[in-house]
Structure 1
């Protein structure tokens, strides 16, 4: 069984075992290995192996924070210090998410994206080099320790409520909806031919199917449907690659960078929008002061509707997906994505021909793109963006996301992504439980004076353009007045 099947291709912070023995830690690692060898094979198999406390080095935060470079990466999880340097290239979620937490406390981020802790702990053990010294706080001193503690208590409460248990019926009803739409589209062309009205109706059915597919694969990518990540892995391949024609690994690598450092200019690929757009309160001013003008950013809120809205899915997403599969020689995803096109050629090729079928595929992606753009951007573009701010997990997610008001339509239309705050706090939670934990999250926000932003759907859509216009004005002021 591949490691990706054990841990899930889901941007997690740990994965396969690849020992790294830097010269400065050679002697210490040998001592750890010697002590660990005394533990019975049965304990090791059960994931219960413990290295004797006396063999662990003690580190201060000052020392740990020095190991934050690509060639030297330590991170802290539950007060334990791990050296992930030599192993990072084999990390299932990619090297970057480890780099983002190098020299930091990664406890809450680690817990947020790993649904199978008993499995993951087995791969952490060889990387253990020490622990925080007794006098050191559990997280960096600049963080609000009470808020961190309260959030960790909230997570325990949510776990006790079984909010991480999925209702399989919920997800299979959504899968049934997708399959029914796909079959209905084929039956329509089979019985009524390829006239313009029929083709538009078929495209409409397939657009709804494609939109619901990406929401369903989003759940599988976060390992929030099945208890075993290997089943989520296979389910995501079927949904994302076979039903949508996009690489599942491409989605996961980028999406979990977004989750782990949300709205961080240096880490979140979703806010790296230059040279087309400048976003947030910092980037426009920086570009303006440096006299950077790739495009007239004062008008970016207008060409957002001309460029990004219609072409995000058919051009940008497809280009990124195919590029990653090619560069990484991702044969598994290539095979799955090929099945998407083969299925369409078999289903619609007899009616539209090969070229006409390709046009139909990309016309559907063109129609899907506005929906996808609005649903994904409404919760982040208008919110706070930062530059390498090492904040606690709770504050990071609450300040960089917002919710949309609950209704039956909003829940279906957005796939419960109208609960972005809860989703970002608990990425592996099944989406049908977000509304149940929302009152607890609001309560914790109120206790610590943090905003819990919730908007009507149309207001959230409009805020994208309003935010881009504001950022463009910041750029203009800095460009012409400094």
Structure 2
């Protein structure tokens, strides 16, 4: 049953209640959304007490009603007890429509706050989607969730925000960017002075591999919009680092990676764990394949395929081909232009020494060498952890169960791009990585209070756990496949 209420201007003149921020969106004459700068202008207008939006009647909903709207063409979300129908907005969502669909019919308060570095601006674009709010008798989250845990996590976030942990140190990222450019320049200078013999080629390949891996970590930072205060500069920087320095599509990474963040290790919502038919991960997928007598390869030996195929071919084959396919099929012309500049730069820089064919070989040699590095860093914190189908857990539990940390050291921080603090990164994706170690004790304490295991392990053990997890999944497949 739904009930009506009147939407009124708050004390500050905006369409909010006390201590609430209300979404909204303004449009230009032809119906196009306004730019961020214009959105900020209207946000300031509301903050200054101007309220030009007429009163309108909205509904009150129960969780039972909201949870029915969880289909691809019918998606409702709850954010701070407000109910939004995002069905028509999904195709325009910068993070991709699937991210919204993954939370359809659920409370999305914490994930909304976690994934948006400029929530006040984003809320403006939500305003036309507002259809009501939770009825007074309804809990702020679904009843099966631990409301105290949710409150404690939200209080933790407020504490961290008051500590300015979401403010980036531009000097830190400038030095990281300078490191990448220096490695690229050094590789060219060595080639220019010593020629293209095999020893030189091996050495410059080593330098370029470090540059490419560190570029991966830097693009990850700007991809989460955590460096600059204005998202448009993060957008340009992300195109430059991901497309120009690495030769991969920024849009492809966004849509894939954001899904991973909002539902990590949830099958089939996290694309990072859908690695069939080559690898079967977790407990349920191997059993499913085994019972259906599916045997594309001998999965009993999949841990060996990880060494022979997964490590060396993740970057040069899987990611590279998938990026190109997505750019072409979805007509990402801007990304195509940026990625083209990556290859043009390599041909101009190294073409005079290696020729066209030799330069292509150099590019893929570097990607081949980088691949094990990135594969280990990206997989060691997730593959050994819990994988399941949708369980609609709270934000803290969802992230902690699916991620683990690697022990801190100067080398581990550098080698992983601070992704050894995977738990903190997943809980606070827009936090600059140089602050992860500062908030880790607070996160660990909260996990201990609520009985959540905060996993922190040595790096070499984490590498080995990938293989051990693959062996465990393989054994489940064998049992299901051969059972009579």
TM-score (norm 1): 0.90
The correspondence of residues 52-67 of structure 1 with structure 2, limited to 5 A, is: 55-67=57-69
Note the C-alpha offset of 1:481. Answer: 2.1
Q: How much has 1:296 moved relative to structure 2?
A: 1.2
Partner of 1:173: 175
Could you tell me whether the CA contact under 8 Å between 2:249 and 2:339 is conserved in 1?
Answer: yes
The match for 2:381 among 374, 379, 382 is 379
Partners of 1:47 and 1:121 within 8 A in 2: no
Q: 1:210 aligns with which of 209, 212, 215?
A: 212
Work out the CA distance in 2 between the residues paired with 1:309 and 1:47.
57
Report how many aligned residue pairs link the two structures. Answer: 448
The match for 1:6 is none
* Equivalent residue number for residue 11 of structure 1: none
User: Any residues of structure 2 matched to 1:135-146 within 5 Å, and which?
Assistant: 135-146=137-148
Contact 1:17 1:87 in 2 (8 A): no
**Are positions 1:320 and 2:331 aligned together?**
no
Which of 287, 303, 306 is matched with 1:304 structurally? 306
Structure 1 window deviating more from structure 2 (321-330 vs 398-407): it is 321-330
C-alpha distance in structure 2 between counterparts of 1:399 and 1:41, whole Å: 37
Structure showing greater relative contact order (alpha-carbon pairs closer than 8 Å, 6 or more residues apart): 1
* Structure 1 partner of 2:475: 473
Cross-structure match for 1:449: 451
Partner residue in 2 for 1:234 = 236
Change (3 A) 1:147 1:50: farther
Please state how far the C-alpha of 1:442 moved relative to its aligned partner: 0.3
- Contact map agreement 2:24 2:124 (CA 8 A) in 1: no
Which residue of the partner structure matches residue 254 of structure 2? Answer: 252
SS in 1 for 2:164: coil
Which of these residues, 64, 69, 72, is aligned with residue 70 of structure 1?
A: 72
8 Å Cα contact 1:17-1:126 kept in structure 2: no
Match for residue 3 of structure 2?
Answer: none
1:161 aligns with 2:163: yes
Change over 3 Å in CA distance of 1:459–1:225 after alignment to 2:
same
| Shift of residue 421, structure 1, vs aligned partner | 0.2
1:394 to 360, 376, 396: 396
Cα separation, 2, equivalents of 1:42 and 1:159: 21
Aligned: 1:342 with 2:347: no
Q: For 1:56, what is the secondary structure of its paired residue?
A: strand
Two-structure CA RMSD over aligned residues (Å): 1.9
Aligned to 2:367: 365
Helix, strand or coil at the partner of 2:426? helix
Rounded to whole Å, the distance in 2 between the matches of 1:414 and 1:462 is 16
CA contact (8 A) 1:16 1:90 kept: no
Name the CA shift for 1:451/1:139 in 2 (closer, same or farther; >3 Å): same
SS in 1 for 2:106: coil
The equivalent of 1:219 in structure 2 is 221
**Deviation per residue, 1:18-70 (Å, 9 max, x gap):** 9xxxxxxxxxxxxxxxxxxxxx9984597975978872210000000001111
d(CA) in 2 for partners of 1:315 and 1:451?
Answer: 36
Distance in 2 between the 1:245 and 1:46 partners? Answer: 45
Distance in 1 between residues matched to 2:137 and 2:78, nearest whole Å: 15
**Contact 1:47–1:119 (8 Å) recurs in 2:** no
Q: Which runs of 5+ in 1 are unaligned?
A: 1-13, 19-39
Given that 1:16 and 1:91 are in contact with CA atoms closer than 8 Å, whether structure 2 keeps it comes out as no
Q: Could you tell me whether the CA contact under 8 Å between 2:43 and 2:120 is conserved in 1?
A: no
What's the TM-score, normalizing by structure 2?
Answer: 0.90
**Does structure 1 conserve the Cα–Cα contact (< 8 Å) formed by 2:24 and 2:123?**
no
For 2:228 and 2:88, locate their aligned partners in 1 and report how far apart those are by CA, in whole Å: 31
In the TM superposition, residue 288 of structure 1 has moved relative to its aligned partner by: 1.5
